[in-house]
Amino acid sequence: MLPTRTGHRRAAAAVLAAALLAPLAACDSGDGSAGDTGGAAGVRLTVLAASSLTDVFRTAGAAYEKSHPGTEVAFSFAGSQELAAQVRQGAPADALVTADTRTMDGLAADTGEAVVIAGNRLVIATEEGNPHRIDSLADLADDKLKVVLAAPQVPVGRYSRQILDAQGVEVRPVSQEPNVRAVLSKVELGEADAGLVYRTDATTAAGTTDAVDIPDEQNAVASYPAAPLKASGNPDAAAAFVTWLGGPEAQKILRDAGFQQP
């Protein structure tokens, strides 16, 4: 009796299923040796982090993975307001680090206990060599200058407005950017004469821009809180990573990158 068309389909499905299951069986030898971390399977942590942490967190992530075999840390960097929107929309992630306590406080229903891990201050980023001789916040009021700021919804944008308003300096920015790295990029590319950025971001562009310090009494302190997310699929690992950020190894990495103590 010749096989029917249905029989052909069933046979093909069986072959396909066997082909798909074979590599999985080969990976699971049953002895727990693959990705063994003391009885636990390998963990991949997704951390939503403020843009100004891009460089230092890449270093921190590598250090964490080295001291925690079996754990992989993946970062998603954006402006804090964008990260908050992602959390509210249910984006799959395990921990959150923002550049201000206000944003973190607004997510209290979605996070575990937050801890401030670092501080930062603002500087005026200028074109390399500071050709316009910008020396203070007051100089940014010059209508001949192209000044770029972060949007007021962004922590660094709020800090910028805060210190400018406190000094009575009126600035008409040529653009308002979604995060601090975008502000810095405008200055680096020559699309702006100056911009307000975090000191640590200016340090990363030391070869292409200059940084003008702002006196402490005219400046603002940015605080960086970190917290595990309640929706994390790896709650214990997420809490452990946040705790590590406040510990000596991570704190040294942050200090070396120019961040202040919490």
What count of other Cβ atoms lies within 10 Å of the Cβ of residue 9?
Answer: 11
How do 43-50 and 71-78 pair as beta strands? parallel
Query: Which of 82, 63, 86, 88 shows the shortest CA–CA distance to 73?
Result: 63
Position 236 scores a pLDDT of 97
Do 121-221 and 43-119+223-256 fall under one CATH topology?
yes
Parse the chain into domains and list their residue ranges.
Answer: 43-119+223-256, 121-221
Position 1 scores a pLDDT of 41
Which H or E element spans position 84?
helix 80-88
Question: Tokens standing for 113?
Answer: 């206990």
Helix (H, G, I), strand (E, B) or coil at 40: coil
Position 39 scores a pLDDT of 32
Q: What is the CATH number of domain 43-119+223-256?
A: 3.40.190.10
Position 95 scores a pLDDT of 98
How do 175-177 and 147-150 pair as beta strands? parallel
Q: What is the CATH number of domain 121-221?
A: 3.40.190.10
Residues of the chain with pLDDT under 70: 1-41
In whole angstroms, give the CA distance from residue 68 to residue 63.
9
Position 27 scores a pLDDT of 33
User: Tell me, what DSSP letter sits at residue 246?
Assistant: T
Position 33 scores a pLDDT of 32
Q: What percent of the chain has pLDDT over 90?
A: 83
Q: Is the pTM of this model over 0.85?
A: no
